[in-house]
């Protein structure tokens, strides 16, 4: 399995994030593989995975805003029922030109993910059905709220009548001081 | 009423004020909806109103609409552990018949739209219980882009129950507080809403786009 | 003139008794159900407060003339049904207007309220209302069949369709009751009574979770109060009818209270023990065994 | 008197001289031919006139001595004698008239005018036929046979087409074989007896085989089944004008010869002739059913008619002389068949008329040339044996001759064949009225796709960013779609509206039709006069007057007013003379009919046939009230059926339904016919008779009532007829069967089995009634089409009436009539109110309506009252009916029927609620936002009916007491009155008190609500509903109406299978299969046909041997 995918990955210029490589300081599961692929090769690669690689199930489809590198990382999580194996395809796209090929022709339900991604991140998927319709936010008029340059606190304060007198405590200190003063040492 | 034309014009003027423009209803759909404004209804006087208030307080019908995570606390309230029926409280599936609206925690903008519509469909006098911190000041969602912070800017609230989550005991205490308030004749959210309708509506419309309904959902 | 005045007075007394009895019975049974569920339950007088509260509501909405008349029809149906049944055997006060017609009149007058209510609910324009009505009517046609067969069996047994006559024939000991002289008719009738009560196995009409309470979805305030009032009276009327038909009627109020309480208790007992049927299941149920029992009861009278 | 010899000499001479005349000018020759034929027609007519003037009565007329001429001056055995008796004169007149009209037709038509040669041949043919009719010499007959045959071959072949030559050749082969056999027979006979004169041949035995040879030959000439394949190509291949001549004229001569032979023949011969006729009749009809070409179908019909006449000849003497019967049938056949052939000739632009399958232009024809279509209708009715045409009377007398002799097989053949004939003839006729949308079968009514009616986009929410564009795009696309549909519709219509041209003059056909009509009326007068029942012809007079007004294009309103006036006067004169049950039904028919006619006043302009048919229908219903004789009754009954058929067929998509109605009506009528003949004491009220009479009459009446199993026609007829006419049919006409049941009630009370005294026909009727009530209710529940719902509801209600009637107790009968009267009132309300709704909304599908209460409050109120009255909810009239029904049932001991009836009445609630809810309550549709209340003419009858219902509800004894009086004396008294309380042995009912109590209990909560909800009770609109905090998208998606009782359907499962429909479909398919497989014996090969002819002859001979 692994070899098979790797062989084709070369064709699509997909780069595995090595199995032994620790991501976030933890060892990966045996049945999970991360692949990084260029934007142009992403959909062909996913198509190959679906049609020939046996990864018939689109489990998850989301995006991460790496504002520091000025990219959106799009994440496709695929699953193969035959091999009991997951594969994560990571694609980085330009944050300034947030546009990605649609995969709704592979999985119809991907259209809904894309609708959500458009609403939350402003990533467009040309040709995706109902892309510009409201998904979760009815009549949202601000910038896409999940972009990290969108200041939700400021927006909230501006929009939702903050009640004055709100105090924020650090839970650990607050607990120590207020609730369990005698047991402070046990913490 | 005489047929004096002056008088008639005046009446028309008054009637115009009593009807809503319903600007948010789509073209050609005005005829589907009632366009009357909510009106302030004077309470009965004296002992009759006190008696009525007692009856209202002893028969609290909750609208079965779990708007947020706090609604989970209503279930144990119904079952044998807490048994809210003892206090004359029972759930009701339709706003037409319910008298108490328990806002179960955080209210996103999307939910808020439904809350307002349902609130308006309830028949007065109607009472609102804000459940959990989220309804008071946004709670843990205080800086969320999509969750309101203060419920009382959108609909009149009679009782707040603080906590995240408040336990069923707190809810019962809240209901009892509501009962006391009702008996004291202090719960007049319905008239408050009607009186300050434009303010409430402006607040609601500030956050809720695509209203697509009449301004007051009869 | 004096006669009419007296009759009016008797009617008022009779209605007063049945209204209070019906409300208290409803309250009591709610407590019984609560006990089954391990709760304490609402106060016995809760139905009174609910009706009061609904009538005290300051605003209300209506959808049109038929919507307005729906509850009127319903309550008129309940009152009429009750008033055409003699409640206490041999009592002038509680004989009501039983002289205007016999059992057939009562059986058909039950439809009066249902039809009117269905029309009122229909005008609300809410899709759940006609869904509820369609289920209710469909179920009604099914449970009326065994009931009708039971009634026919009794009528042929005693040679009368007069309720007073049927009660009179059952006097003189517990063994003279239809329940013992014609047990098949009683069984068929009592099964359809379950359907008529719309309690649990057959409560799909209201289905609070699925189609929020069905026909009266849009009913509010005073309209709802009127429906609740009717519920008490109509329940009482049905209980009295079944008591008269199968269990020897009642010679005084106390006997009536005991018998009807037990009858209602039976409904609640079944309701608390069984889950709910789908409409097609309940139709098939009533058209099956209970109808066969009813036919058997009728055939036994023929041979 | 002119000698008969001229009848032969003139045409023969003229035929030879014609080429000479042609030299003088074509027109001279044509004029000569016409003059000769006119003279030939006039000749026998002149004899007839002289005889009729000289003889006082019919019997004398039949015994008049024939006009005989011995040729050559020698007496008969030596010379050839020509003799013309009454029969000869009659047949000759008909033959020559038809020939005259036929040649005229061919001369005046625009294309394929006959050449001189054709005229010569036609004259020769006429000569031959005249000779056949007149001569009394067997060999001379052979000569004329040959003359006829040869001219026929030549005529057929004169068309010049390949098919015509082939057809002619086959004809020659078969004809030659027949001639040879005849010649052998003649020789044999001469050898045996030494004489060939019909008047001198011995009537004793020994000549059987010789006579059989003659008979066989003549039979073969008459194209008997199955040895007739050779003749049938003629009809399709030859010129229709010539087909008409061959079909109408050619055969009649041979037929008459056979008739002349009958005195010589033994009973075995006759039986063979009758059998041959019967076989031919029935099989030709079966095959005709499967024909796709109209001329071929008419050809089979001709063969069948000849078969019928053979049957008449062979079945011997009946109630009236054979010759009269034969004359009626022959005249009817000749004129109608020739007329039909001519019509196909007239409208033969692209042969569309001649094809059964492709007939798109026929409706256009009906619109453009209504008179022509009316004429076709008359000709078809005559051919099918409907009153008052001659063959109707012949059919009656034929059956009444056959039944007492116990010849059941022949009766079955005659009636079954006639039924099939009416079936295929009118199937063709319905093509003229067929609309583009014909629902065909009732159980598969097509529900059109729900086209988007608004141009509004259908999505609930539209995104902010591109919302406007999306909205605009959607709106544009919808608008385009709408435009496209509006553009295509006129195209479709234009396609259907092909102009239909008439080529030639219809005058000869019109004359034939008129002769038929007047012959029919003369026959009617002749047959009805002996019983002093000429008053039964009043509906016919109305029909004629109305037809006249219609041709003058008098507006329908005026016609209707005249009709109402006429019915008013008629009722005024008739009703006081009636009493008891007839009076009740008289009021019901006539006054109820008047009520219905008010609704028809809504029609604007000239509606061809509407007013006249309605008036005629009501008059013929009036006939039933007082008719005494069996024949008179049967005449009135059939007249009513055919008139109501014509009314139904006017509906927009009613052709299939109307045809079903006609078929079941005729089937019922034939059943009644046999039943009537079986009644020994004649038709009189409460006659008691044999069981079979009861069963047959009962079946006929049950069909009219629409009992379950026989109800197939009912829903379609009621639903597809025009909306106001449906009301008339359902509320008035359906009671005709019930009335007849009441009138013949005595038939139904005898026990079926001696051992079980309780089981009578009435007992069966009771079960049927209960089943009908249940089936009607169940079928009504699951309809989407409102008129089908009402139609099935009518069926269910008729079931209650039947059940009550069948009880045969006082209360039962009172209830049956009480139901009949109240059903009239509430069905009027329902049907007319629904007619108004359909008129305004333009749809009959319930789920497309909704919320109309605000737009049509009066109609709503009327429907509300109607459904309360129908359902039996107190305090309105329905409860009285239910109370009486159950009381009577339980008194009688019919407990299970009572249970069934109760179940049916509970089911009725389902469809009634559905009816009122889906139309008037729920969500108002956009397209109905501006509609108005129903027209005033619709409201008036509804209001009258409401007043009636309210009165009867308030004071039930207003109706029940007169009904009680109407049936006083029939049954022992089982009910009593205590004030206004009706007391039975079981229970009691005080309608008055119930009304007061109900009003009381209704007022109390009403006043309470009005008082407490006086203020701050906001009236809201249709979308202000609790919709899970959402808003409804569109009224269409919010209105719960389609498939309303889905759970019930799934609960009942296979119980709802339409068994009856399935059964009748199976019957139809069996008949069709028989037709198709029988048709296979016609291989189209001349040799095979010749073989058939020979085999046929041999089989006949063998049968004769076996018979001896």
The helix (H) or strand (E) run that includes residue A74 is strand A71-80
d(CA B75, CA D720): 57
Tally C-beta pairs within 8 A across B and D. 47
Backbone φ and ψ of D983, nearest 5° = -115, 125
Per-residue pLDDT reduced to its tens digit, B41-77: 888 888 999 999 999 999 999 998 888 888 888 889 8
Cβ-Cβ contacts under 8 Å, B137 against chain A = 162-163, 166
Count: domains in chain B: 1
Least confident of B83-97, B156-170, B173-187, D145-159: D145-159
Residue B1 lies in a domain: no
Mean pLDDT, range C38-52, rounded to an integer: 93
CA distance B159 to chain A (A): 16
Mean pLDDT, range C148-170, rounded to an integer: 91
Higher pLDDT, D501 or C234: C234
Q: Which residues of D touch A (CB under 8 A)?
A: 459, 461-466, 470
Tally C-beta pairs within 8 A across A and B. 58
DSSP reduced 3-state for D79: coil
| Residue B125 domain boundaries | 46-207
Chosen from D851, D1031, D1032, D1033 to mutate, greatest number of chain B CBs within 10 A: D1031
CB-nearest partner of C60 from B52, B123, B125: B123
Chosen from A154, A159, A161 to mutate, greatest number of chain B CBs within 10 A: A161
CA distance A3 to chain D (A): 46
d(CA C105, CA C84): 8
Chosen from A128, A133, A138 to mutate, greatest number of chain D CBs within 10 A: A133
CA quadruple D393, D394, D396, D398: dihedral, nearest 10 = 160
Residue B8 lies in a domain: no
CA quadruple D572, D576, D578, D584: dihedral, nearest 10 = 70
* Global ipTM: 0.89
Cβ-Cβ contacts under 8 Å, D463 against chain A = 132-134
**Maximum Cα–Cα distance across chain D:** 117
Cβ-Cβ contacts under 8 Å, C138 against chain D = 910, 1045, 1047-1048, 1051
The residues near B214 (Cβ < 8 Å, ≥ 6 apart) are: B20, B22, B24, B25, B33, B34, B35
What's the full length of chain C, in residues?
303
CA distance D773 to chain A (A): 53
Mean pLDDT, range B191-199, rounded to an integer: 91
Kindly determine whether residue B85 and residue C224, on different chains, have CB atoms separated by under 8 Å. Answer: no
- On whether any CB of chain A is under 8 Å from the CB of B153, the answer is yes
Domains identified in chain A and CATH numbers: 2-181 (3.30.460.80)
Residue B183 lies in a domain: yes
Chosen from C58, C126, C203, C218 to mutate, greatest number of chain B CBs within 10 A: C58
CATH of the domain at B158: 3.40.50.12280
As averages over each run of 10 residues, the pLDDT of chain D (1108 residues) reads 80 82 78 87 87 76 77 73 84 88 83 78 88 87 88 81 80 86 88 80 72 86 80 73 80 87 83 88 87 83 89 78 85 88 72 54 68 85 88 88 84 90 86 56 46 39 43 50 42 45 78 89 86 85 88 86 92 88 91 90 84 91 87 90 88 82 91 85 57 86 89 87 89 90 83 74 90 92 90 93 92 93 92 92 88 92 93 89 92 91 92 92 90 91 94 89 88 87 88 90 92 87 88 88 86 80 87 85 79 84 70
- Chains touching chain A at 3 or more Cβ pairs under 8 angstroms? B, D
CB-nearest partner of C56 from B56, B190, B218: B56
pLDDT at D90: 86
The residues near D211 (Cβ < 8 Å, ≥ 6 apart) are: D185, D189, D261, D264, D265, D266, D269
Q: What is the pTM of this model?
A: 0.89
Residue B34 lies in a domain: no
CB D655 within 8 A of CB D603: no
pLDDT at C13: 92
CB-nearest partner of B143 from A138, A140, A156: A156
CA distance C57 to chain B (A): 6
Contact of chains A and C by CB distance (3 or more pairs under 8 angstroms) = no
CB-nearest partner of C162 from D913, D987, D1026: D987
Kindly determine whether residue D909 and residue C104, on different chains, have CB atoms separated by under 8 Å. Answer: no
Question: Sorting pLDDT into bands at 50, 70 and 90, what band is B115?
Answer: very high
**Segment of B77-81, C203-207, D1059-1063 carrying the highest mean pLDDT:** B77-81
pLDDT at D454: 39
CB D369 within 8 A of CB D346: no
pLDDT at C303: 80
Cβ-Cβ contacts under 8 Å, B210 against chain A = 134, 138-139
Which residue of B lies nearest to C218 if distances are taken between CA atoms?
A: B96
d(CA D819, CA D1084): 60
CB B92 within 8 A of CB B63: yes
Per-residue pLDDT reduced to its tens digit, C176-196: 899 899 999 999 999 999 998
CB-nearest partner of D466 from A132, A138, A139: A132
CA distance B143 to chain A (A): 4
Show the tokens assigned to D736. 């005709």
CB B158 within 8 A of CB B131: no
Question: Sorting pLDDT into bands at 50, 70 and 90, what band is A93?
Answer: very high
- On whether any CB of chain B is under 8 Å from the CB of C46, the answer is yes
Chosen from D464, D472, D473 to mutate, greatest number of chain A CBs within 10 A: D464
pLDDT at D943: 94
């Amino acid at each position: 399995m692994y070899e098979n995918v790797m062989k084709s990955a070369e064709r699509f210029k997909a780069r595995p994030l090595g199995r032994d490589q620790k991501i976030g300081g933890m060892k990966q599961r045996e049945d999970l593989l991360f692949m990084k692929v260029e934007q142009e090769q992403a959909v062909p690669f996913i198509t190959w995975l679906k049609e020939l690689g046996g990864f018939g199930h689109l489990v998850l489809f989301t995006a991460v805003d790496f504002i520091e590198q000025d990219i959106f990382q799009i994440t496709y999580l695929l699953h193969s029922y035959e091999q009991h194996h997951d594969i994560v395809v990571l694609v980085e796209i330009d944050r300034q030109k947030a546009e990605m090929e649609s995969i709704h022709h592979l999985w119809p339900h991907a259209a809904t993910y894309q609708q959500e991604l458009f609403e939350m991140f402003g990533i467009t998927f040309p040709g995706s059905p109902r892309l510009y319709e409201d998904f979760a936010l009815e009549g949202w008029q601000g910038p896409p709220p999940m972009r990290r340059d969108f200041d939700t606190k400021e927006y909230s304060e501006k929009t939702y009548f903050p009640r004055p007198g709100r105090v924020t405590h650090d839970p650990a200190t607050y607990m120590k001081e207020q609730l369990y003063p005698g047991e402070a040492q046990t913490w | 009423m005489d047929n004096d034309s002056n008088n008639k014009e005046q009446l028309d003027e008054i009637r115009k004020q009593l009807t809503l423009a319903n600007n948010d209803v789509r073209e050609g759909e005005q005829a589907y909806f009632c366009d009357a404004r909510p009106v302030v209804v004077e309470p009965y006087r004296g002992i009759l109103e006190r008696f009525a208030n007692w009856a209202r307080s002893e028969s609290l019908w909750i609208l079965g609409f779990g708007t947020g995570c706090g609604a989970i606390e209503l279930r144990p309230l119904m079952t044998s552990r807490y048994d809210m029926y003892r206090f004359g409280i029972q759930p009701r599936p339709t706003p037409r018949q319910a008298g108490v609206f328990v806002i179960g925690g955080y209210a996103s903008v999307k939910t808020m739209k439904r809350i307002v519509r349902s609130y308006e469909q309830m028949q007065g006098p109607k009472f609102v219980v804000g459940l959990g911190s989220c309804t008071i000041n946004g709670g843990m969602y205080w800086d969320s882009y999509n969750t309101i912070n203060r419920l009382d800017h959108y609909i009149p609230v009679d009782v707040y129950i603080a906590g995240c989550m408040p336990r069923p005991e707190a809810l019962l205490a809240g209901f009892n507080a509501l009962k006391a308030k009702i008996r004291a004749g202090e719960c007049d959210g319905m008239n408050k809403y009607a009186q300050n309708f434009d303010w409430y509506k402006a607040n609601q419309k500030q956050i809720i786009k695509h209203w697509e309904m009449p301004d007051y959902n009869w | 003139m004096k006669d009419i005045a007296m009759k009016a007075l008797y009617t008022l007394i009779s209605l007063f008794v049945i209204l209070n009895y019906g409300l208290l019975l409803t309250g009591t049974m709610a407590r019984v159900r609560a006990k089954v569920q391990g709760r304490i339950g609402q106060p016995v007088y809760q139905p009174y407060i609910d009706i009061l509260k609904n009538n005290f509501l300051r605003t209300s909405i209506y959808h049109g003339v038929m919507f307005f008349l729906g509850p009127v029809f319903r309550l008129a149906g309940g009152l009429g049904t009750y008033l055409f049944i003699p409640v206490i055997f041999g009592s002038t006060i509680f004989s009501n207007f039983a002289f205007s017609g016999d059992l057939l009149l009562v059986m058909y007058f039950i439809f009066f309220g249902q039809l009117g209510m269905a029309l009122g609910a229909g005008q609300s324009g809410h899709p759940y209302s006609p869904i509820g009505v369609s289920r209710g009517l469909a179920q009604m046609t099914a449970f009326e069949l065994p009931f009708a067969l039971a009634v026919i069996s009794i009528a042929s047994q005693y040679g009368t369709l007069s309720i007073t006559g049927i009660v009179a024939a059952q006097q003189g000991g517990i063994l003279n009751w239809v329940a013992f002289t014609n047990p098949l008719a009683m069984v068929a009738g009592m099964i359809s009574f379950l359907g008529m009560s719309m309690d649990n196995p057959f409560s799909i009409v209201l289905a609070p979770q699925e189609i929020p309470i069905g026909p009266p979805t849009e009913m509010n305030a005073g309209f709802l109060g009127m429906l609740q009032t009717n519920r008490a009276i109509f329940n009482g009327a049905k209980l009295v009818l079944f008591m008269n038909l199968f269990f020897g009627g009642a010679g005084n109020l106390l006997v009536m209270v005991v018998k009807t309480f037990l009858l209602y208790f039976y409904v609640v007992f079944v309701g608390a023990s069984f889950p709910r049927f789908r409409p097609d299941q309940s139709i098939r149920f009533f058209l099956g065994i209970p109808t066969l029992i009813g036919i058997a009861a009728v055939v036994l009278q023929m041979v | 008197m002119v000698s008969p010899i001229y009848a032969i000499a003139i045409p023969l001479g003229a035929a030879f001289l014609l080429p000479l005349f042609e030299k003088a000018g074509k027109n001279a020759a044509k004029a000569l031919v016409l003059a000769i034929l006119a003279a030939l027609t006039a000749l026998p007519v002149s004899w007839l006139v002289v005889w009729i003037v000289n003889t006082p009565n019919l019997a004398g007329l039949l015994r008049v001595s024939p006009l005989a001429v011995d040729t050559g001056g020698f007496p008969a055995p030596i010379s050839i004698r020509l003799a013309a008796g009454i029969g000869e004169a009659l047949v000759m007149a008909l033959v020559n008239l038809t020939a005259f009209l036929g040649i005229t037709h061919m001369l005046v038509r625009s294309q394929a005018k006959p050449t001189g040669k054709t005229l010569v041949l036609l004259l020769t043919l006429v000569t031959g036929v005249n000779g056949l009719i007149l001569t009394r010499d067997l060999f001379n007959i052979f000569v004329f046979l040959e003359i006829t045959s040869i001219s026929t071959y030549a005529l057929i072949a004169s068309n010049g087409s390949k098919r015509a030559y082939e057809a002619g050749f086959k004809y020659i082969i078969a004809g030659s074989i027949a001639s040879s056999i005849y010649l052998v027979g003649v020789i044999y006979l001469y050898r045996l007896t030494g004489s060939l004169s019909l008047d001198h041949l011995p009537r004793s035995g020994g000549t059987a085989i010789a006579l059989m040879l003659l008979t066989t030959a003549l039979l073969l000439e008459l194209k008997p089944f199955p040895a007739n394949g050779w003749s049938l190509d003629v009809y399709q291949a030859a010129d229709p004008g010539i087909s008409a001549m061959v079909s109408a004229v050619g055969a009649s001569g041979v037929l008459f010869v056979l008739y002349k032979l009958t005195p010589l023949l033994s009973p075995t011969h006759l039986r063979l002739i009758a059998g041959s006729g019967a076989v031919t009749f029935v099989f030709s009809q079966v095959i005709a059913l499967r024909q796709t070409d109209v001329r071929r179908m008419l050809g089979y019909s001709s063969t069948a008619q000849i078969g019928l006449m053979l049957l008449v000849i062979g079945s011997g003497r009946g109630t009236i002389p054979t010759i009269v019967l034969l004359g009626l049938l022959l005249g009817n056949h000749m004129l109608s068949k020739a007329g039909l052939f001519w019509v196909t000739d007239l409208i033969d632009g692209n042969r569309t008329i001649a094809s059964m399958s492709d007939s798109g232009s026929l409706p256009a024809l009906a619109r453009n040339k209504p008179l022509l279509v009316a004429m076709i209708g008359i000709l078809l009715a005559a051919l099918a044996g409907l009153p008052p045409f001659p063959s109707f009377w012949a059919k009656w007398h034929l059956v009444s001759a056959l039944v007492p002799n116990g010849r059941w097989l022949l009766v079955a053949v005659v009636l079954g064949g006639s039924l099939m004939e009416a079936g295929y003839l009118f199937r063709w006729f319905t093509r003229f009225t067929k609309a583009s949308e014909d629902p065909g079968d009732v159980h598969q009514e097509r529900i059109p796709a729900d086209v988007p009616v608004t141009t509004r986009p259908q999505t609930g929410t539209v995104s902010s960013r591109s919302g406007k564009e999306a909205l605009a795009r959607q709106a544009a696309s919808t608008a385009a779609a709408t435009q496209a549909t509006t553009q295509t519709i006129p195209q479709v219509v234009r396609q259907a509206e092909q102009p239909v041209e008439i080529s030639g003059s219809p005058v000869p056909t019109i004359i034939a039709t008129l002769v038929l009509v007047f012959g029919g009326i003369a026959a009617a007068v002749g047959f009805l006069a002996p019983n002093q029942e000429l008053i039964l012809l009043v509906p016919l007079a109305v029909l004629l007057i109305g037809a006249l007004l219609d041709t003058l294009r008098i507006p329908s309103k005026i016609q209707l007013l005249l009709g109402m006036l006429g019915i008013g006067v008629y009722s005024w004169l008739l009703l006081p003379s009636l009493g008891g049950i007839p009076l009740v039904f008289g009021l019901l028919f006539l006054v109820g009919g008047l009520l219905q006619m008010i609704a028809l006043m809504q029609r604007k302009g000239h509606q061809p046939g509407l007013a006249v048919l309605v008036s005629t229908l009501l008059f013929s219903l009036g006939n039933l009230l007082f008719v005494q004789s069996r024949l008179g009754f049967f005449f009135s009954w059939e007249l009513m059926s055919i008139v109501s058929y014509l009314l139904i067929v006017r509906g927009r998509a009613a052709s299939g339904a109307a045809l079903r109605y006609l078929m079941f009506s005729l089937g019922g009528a034939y059943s009644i016919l046999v039943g009537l003949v079986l009644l020994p004491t004649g038709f009189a009220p409460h006659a008691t008779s044999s069981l079979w009479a009861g069963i047959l009459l009962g079946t006929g009446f049950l069909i009219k009532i629409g009992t379950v199993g026989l109800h197939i026609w009912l829903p379609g007829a009621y639903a597809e007829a025009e909306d106001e006419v449906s009301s008339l049919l359902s509320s008035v006409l359906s009671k005709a069967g019930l009335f007849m049941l009441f009138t013949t009630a005595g038939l139904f009370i005898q026990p079926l089995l001696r051992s079980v005294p309780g089981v009578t026909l009435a007992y069966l009727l009771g079960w049927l009634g209960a089943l009908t009530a249940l089936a009607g209710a169940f079928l009504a529940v699951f309809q989407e089409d409102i008129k089908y719902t009402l139609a099935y509801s009518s069926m269910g209600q008729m079931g209650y009436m039947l059940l009550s009637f069948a009880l045969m107790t006082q209360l039962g009968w009172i209830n049956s009539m009480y139901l009949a009267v109240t059903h009239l009132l509430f069905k009027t309300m329902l049907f007319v109110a629904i007619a108004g709704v359909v008129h305004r909304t333009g749809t009959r599908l319930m789920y497309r309506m909704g919320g109309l209460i605000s737009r049509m409050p009066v109609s709503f109120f009327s429907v509300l009252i109607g459904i309360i009255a129908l359902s039996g909810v107190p305090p309105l009239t329905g409860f009285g009916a239910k109370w009486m029904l159950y009381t009577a049932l339980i008194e009688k001991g019919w407990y299970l029927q009572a249970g069934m009836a109760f179940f049916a009445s509970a089911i009725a609630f389902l469809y009634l609620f559905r009816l009122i809810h889906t139309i008037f309550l729920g969500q108002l549709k956009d397209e109905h936002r501006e509609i108005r209340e129903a027209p005033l003419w619709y409201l008036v009858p509804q209001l009258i009916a409401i007043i009636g219902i309210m009165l009867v509800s308030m004071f039930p004894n207003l109706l029940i007491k007169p009904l009680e009086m109407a049936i006083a004396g029939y049954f022992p008294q089982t009910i009593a009155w205590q004030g206004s309380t009706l007391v039975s042995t079981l229970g009691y009912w005080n309608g008055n008190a119930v009304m007061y109590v109900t009003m009381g209990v209704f007022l109390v909560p009403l006043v309470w609500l009005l008082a407490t909800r006086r203020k701050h009770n906001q009236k809201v609109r249709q979308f202000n509903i609790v919709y899970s905090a959402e808003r409804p998208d569109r009224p269409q998606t919010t209105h719960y109406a389609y498939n309303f009782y889905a759970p019930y359907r799934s609960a009942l499962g296979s119980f709802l299978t339409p068994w009856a429909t399935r059964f009748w479909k199976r019957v139809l398919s069996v008949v069709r299969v028989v037709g198709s497989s029988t048709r296979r014996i016609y291989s189209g090969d001349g040799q095979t046909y010749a073989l058939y002819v020979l085999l046929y002859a041999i089989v006949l001979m063998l049968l004769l041997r076996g018979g001896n």
